[in-house]
Amino acid sequence: MRLFANSIFITIGLVTLFAFSEALAQPADSLRELLQTKGAENIQYFKDERGRGHYTLEYRLHRNPVVLLNELPDWVAKSDTVALTLMWYGSPWTTLSGGNVTAATNNDKPSRRIKPSVAGGWPYKLDISVAPVVFAEFGDEFDIFRTQLALAPKINYLLPFGLSADVQWIFPIQNDFESRFGFSSRPGQISLSYTKSFIPNHIFVASAGTFLNRQYGASVDYVIRAGRDYFGVAANLSATYAYEDRALYREPLEYVSGGVWWMHSFPQHDLWTKVSFERFLYEDYGSRIELFRQFGNNEMGLYMTASARGFNGGVQWAMPLFPKAFYKNKYLQVRPANQFLFTYEYLRNQNDGESLMKYRQTDRSLRALHPSFIKNHLLSLLKIL
């Protein structure tokens, strides 16, 4: 637990250090107040080149921003004198204005910066979320549904310029995999990350720390959005660690993994396909094919992995959790995680097809922010015509 306490101390230090970081001018108007009430963060306002009142914001309470947009008055989506730009870790990604949903550009972010008022709250809240963590397998003739269940509280803090810090600890509840996973509390994701869109429709993500699958190290992702397609490349340097008897044991950094992936949208069906070619962990390599269907605030999918060590497959889904907040004020929110992720896969050989890419949420978040997905759901809600 000493590692957990030290991690909390470091996170609180980061919060204090950056509490007075730069933010954009924000007018005190009714729309900004409504956005704050609905859970939006880092709400910034400026007049853009087209003379529109332009708001940029970040939204973390739900899996996707459609929930927030549905709770706003219809005129916000339809008005051509107001624009909303949805940010992802401080980078502009999708803009809604005049009934159109488009990819954000460099013009969709303000350039004038001033010091924020502490009385107005920090740009981002210190976010404490609690999520269930479930691993499940089928294929054992004596136990067709083997599971490991745990609770994983996480402390997260976002900074206006793309930095984010995470501290997570996993507390086990039930375990059918004792010989494989162990049954003790341990670190989850403890990391410092940097996310930035240097070029419109390009996103860069770098992080260092521990990962959910008992690996630690560093990772880099670069993603390009091109119409209905996403193209990505990832590189990782990692090694295995163990936390037992209040001591942390780690191997030297040795596993170089990563790969390239392509994801395509079929917007008329809210359907996505994803194909990746990877160098997996433990000197394994192969490919992974995934199919996703978005249902409002839910997502279900199928996947298959083929590696040098064998084949695997299963189903996965992500669903919202409620209530959305146990407690919140201007500086802090305590809530369930914005989604419950569950994967039910075939009983496989240990370490085959094991990837760090599947534990990161970059592609899942970018699917929820894609203009076609948001426009389809606003059309179904008659928010825009």
- pLDDT, tens digit (0-9, with 9 covering 90-100), for 260-312: 999 999 988 889 999 999 998 888 899 999 999 988 788 899 999 898 888 88
Q: Cα–Cα distance between 257 and 263 in angstroms, integer?
A: 20
Q: Which amino acid is at 19?
A: A
Residue-wise pLDDT for 47-65, tens only, equals 888 888 999 999 988 888 8
Gap between the terminal Cα atoms of the chain: 55
pLDDT over 80 (residue 225): yes
pLDDT over 70 (residue 135): yes
DSSP label of 69? H
**pLDDT value of position 77:** 83
Strands 40-47, 53-59: pairing is antiparallel
Q: Cα–Cα distance between 85 and 36 in angstroms, integer?
A: 15
**pLDDT value of position 12:** 46
Strands 255-266, 229-244: pairing is antiparallel
pLDDT over 90 (residue 167): yes
**pLDDT value of position 237:** 94
Residue-wise pLDDT for 185-198, tens only, equals 888 889 999 999 98
Judge contact between 207 and 195, C-beta under 8 A.
Answer: no
Q: pTM of the predicted model, to two decimals?
A: 0.84
pLDDT over 80 (residue 232): yes
SS3 345: strand
pLDDT higher at 355 or 170:
170
Using CB atoms within 10 Å of the CB of residue 85, give its burial: 0 to 12 exposed, 13 to 18 middle, 19+ buried: buried
**pLDDT value of position 113:** 46
pLDDT over 50 (residue 322): yes
Strands 126-138, 146-158: pairing is antiparallel
**pLDDT value of position 8:** 47
In the block, residue with structure tokens 């859970």: 39
**pLDDT value of position 13:** 52
Q: Tell how many helices (H) and how many strands (E) occur in the chain.
A: 7, 23
Judge contact between 3 and 187, C-beta under 8 A.
Answer: yes
**pLDDT value of position 6:** 53
Q: Which amino acid is at 158?
A: L
Strands 126-138, 340-346: pairing is parallel
pLDDT over 80 (residue 147): yes
pLDDT over 80 (residue 178): no
Q: Cα–Cα distance between 317 and 295 in angstroms, integer?
A: 11
Q: Cα–Cα distance between 28 and 321 in angstroms, integer?
A: 31
Q: Which helix (H) or strand (E) holds 9?
A: helix 2-18
**pLDDT value of position 169:** 92
Q: In Å, how far are 5, 120, 204, 314 from 90, measured between CA atoms?
A: 28, 19, 12, 34
**pLDDT value of position 116:** 40
**Assigned token pair, 103:** 């990819």
pLDDT-derived band at 7 (thresholds 50, 70, 90) equals low
Tally of CB atoms within 10 A around 158: 26
**pLDDT value of position 24:** 36
pLDDT-derived band at 385 (thresholds 50, 70, 90) equals low
pLDDT over 60 (residue 134): yes
Q: Cα–Cα distance between 101 and 371 in angstroms, integer?
A: 5
Q: In Å, how far are 86, 176, 207, 303 from 311, measured between CA atoms?
A: 39, 22, 29, 11
How does the average pLDDT of the chain come out, rounded?
Answer: 82
pLDDT-derived band at 70 (thresholds 50, 70, 90) equals confident
**Assigned token pair, 243:** 């936390």
Q: Which amino acid is at 353?
A: G
Using CB atoms within 10 Å of the CB of residue 327, give its burial: 0 to 12 exposed, 13 to 18 middle, 19+ buried: exposed
pLDDT over 90 (residue 218): yes
pLDDT-derived band at 2 (thresholds 50, 70, 90) equals low
pLDDT over 70 (residue 1): no
Q: Which amino acid is at 339?
A: Q
pLDDT-derived band at 26 (thresholds 50, 70, 90) equals very low
Mean pLDDT, residues 327-349? 83
Judge contact between 322 and 114, C-beta under 8 A.
Answer: no
Q: Cα–Cα distance between 187 and 209 in angstroms, integer?
A: 10
Which stretch of 199-203, 335-339, 355-359 has the lowest confidence by average pLDDT?
355-359
Mean pLDDT, residues 77-86? 90
Q: In Å, how far are 41, 94, 148 from 106, measured between CA atoms?
A: 20, 11, 45
Give strand pairing partners of 191.
166, 209
pLDDT-derived band at 141 (thresholds 50, 70, 90) equals low
Residues ≥6 apart with Cβ < 8 Å to 269 = 293
pLDDT over 50 (residue 43): yes
Tally of CB atoms within 10 A around 172: 18
- All structural domains of the chain, each given as residue ranges with its CATH number in brackets, are 2-122+372-380 (no CATH), 126-366 (2.40.160.40)
Most confident of 35-39, 98-102, 203-207, 315-319: 203-207
